[in-house]
Amino acid sequence: MARGSSFLRYFLVGLDVAALTVSWVIATMLVPPSARPTVVLLLVAIAFVGGGLVIFRATGLYRARVCSLRTVEYAHLVRACVLLALLALAISATSHTADRREIALSIPLAFLLTIVLRSGYRTWLTNQRRFGRYLRPVLLFGAGSESADIVALLAQHPELGYRTAGVVGDKREALRHGLKGYWCGELDDGLAVLAETGGTGAIVCAGDIHPSQLNQIVQELLKVGMHVHLSSGLHGIDIGRLRPSPLAHEPFFYVERVTLASWQPVTKRVIDLVLSSIILILTLPVLGMAALGIKLQDLGPVLFKQYRIGHQGAPFVLYKLRTMREGAESETADLLELNMRDGPLTKFSRDPRVTMLGRVLRATSIDELPQLWNVLNGTMSLVGPRPAVPNEVVHFDAELRARESVRPGITGLWQVEGRDNPSFAAYRRFDLFYIQNWSIALDLMILAVTVESVIARIFHALLHLDEDIQIAPPYVQDPIEVYAMRDAEQVVGGPSRRVRGRES
């Protein structure tokens, strides 16, 4: 496992070296040649790449907790590129070895190339981890409800890179919380179990352990060199809202309230209007061609319209380009045997109802463009939770209905972080996290990552033209449209039902 971790780190460093090198070479080629000797040019390039790697490391871009979330990684990468630009400009001002035009070109190029290469790396690593590769075995200390939640979290998100090697704690508690298959011993057996299972780290579930034992367990794990994660018991609170606030030198955290300045909602609406107008104008030719193709393929309607529940629970009509044959809604029940997901969610990897043109429209997200009209008329936003259909909302509990406190969005946190995660729990968690931590900065980060995701999907589709592109990661697809809830009582306590099929 250690060798695997080292390989991944070196692999990522190699990609960053490639991005920095290529960006500097392109910048020097575009800037008119100077009289600098070749040796000087080479040394400047080495300094640029070396300085970039040092700054990348200093800003945490090789830490798993940063790389595991693209929104966090983007923020750190922006900071790193700004620092690299300042460093390069300072060196240029004192030594005159680099042209400022080269710096002005190379920094944005380095940012874009790093994003592209890291996106490909992340996709590759996520696929590897789905097959059980490059997973770090961790032992959970505590066998209560918090431990059960973390076991489920790690199982739902293999892209995090952790595998539950076992659980130690009270056996009766483990059995009561469905952890029989994970239980490996009592808390006192923890270090021995770690050695037996080959675990390289531990997650200490603070809420499941008596305070008198908690500190002792953490200290013992640190003494033997284990990586230790200590759970907080908090849910849905962004890490940026936690501030270390020790009391008498004891570790405490201060939890900041979400405070939005009055300008933020106004700014969000301005961004919606400006960006959606620009995108709609630029894509009108594409929309026209797509509409013509849909009409010619079967003379059916171009648009798919569906009632959704929006802001403050108000119903509205959502628009999409039709990607399925007419009458597809009535065929859903016949396709349940093709379900490739477990649990309460359903996803059809090779949906026969999708037309050939519809597959192209989905792969490129062109079918979502009519929702820009929903943004302009105020029923949707560019960023927010995806709107649910009425017969699903009636089964949402009060906590999940809080998603209606903001306008639903074309893209959102689930689409850029959940990817093709089939778990309804993940979908629920990302939506609740968004509404509790919303800000303009988070919206802009989601929009930036969405652009990357759409480009990645288009490239994936081009490279797999002979395959059904429904298997491509649904970065910006609608989880409510792609997945059908079959057993709602497992999720929110409602009665079992079969969801009526619909255009997706």
Tell me the pLDDT tens digit for each residue of 106-151: 999 999 999 889 988 888 888 888 888 889 999 999 999 999 999 9
The pLDDT of residue 323:
87
Q: Which helix (H) or strand (E) holds 86?
A: helix 70-95
Just give the CATH number of 136-233: 3.40.50.720
Low-confidence residues in the chain, pLDDT < 50: 1-2, 341-346, 465-504
Rounded to 10 degrees, what is the CA torsion of 302, 305, 311, 313?
180
Domain ranges of the chain: 2-130, 136-233, 263-492
How far is residue 2's CA from residue 85's CA, in Å, rounded to a whole number? Answer: 34
How far is residue 458's CA from residue 325's CA, in Å, rounded to a whole number? Answer: 23
The pLDDT of residue 469:
38
Residue 494: closest CA among 422, 391, 407: 391
DSSP helix/strand/coil, 11: helix
How far is residue 157's CA from residue 453's CA, in Å, rounded to a whole number? Answer: 18
The pLDDT of residue 53:
95
In this structure, what DSSP letter does residue 470 have?
A: G
The pLDDT of residue 3:
53
The pLDDT of residue 198:
85
DSSP helix/strand/coil, 111: helix
In this structure, what DSSP letter does residue 98 have?
A: S
How far is residue 143's CA from residue 215's CA, in Å, rounded to a whole number? Answer: 17
Residues 316-326 pLDDT 10s: 999 999 988 87
The pLDDT of residue 348:
63
Distances (CA, A) of 178 to 136, 145, 156, 167: 23, 9, 16, 11
The pLDDT of residue 216:
92
Output the CA angle 474-479-480, nearest 5 degrees.
Answer: 150
How far is residue 359's CA from residue 349's CA, in Å, rounded to a whole number? Answer: 12
User: The tokens 């929309």 sit on which residue?
Assistant: 287
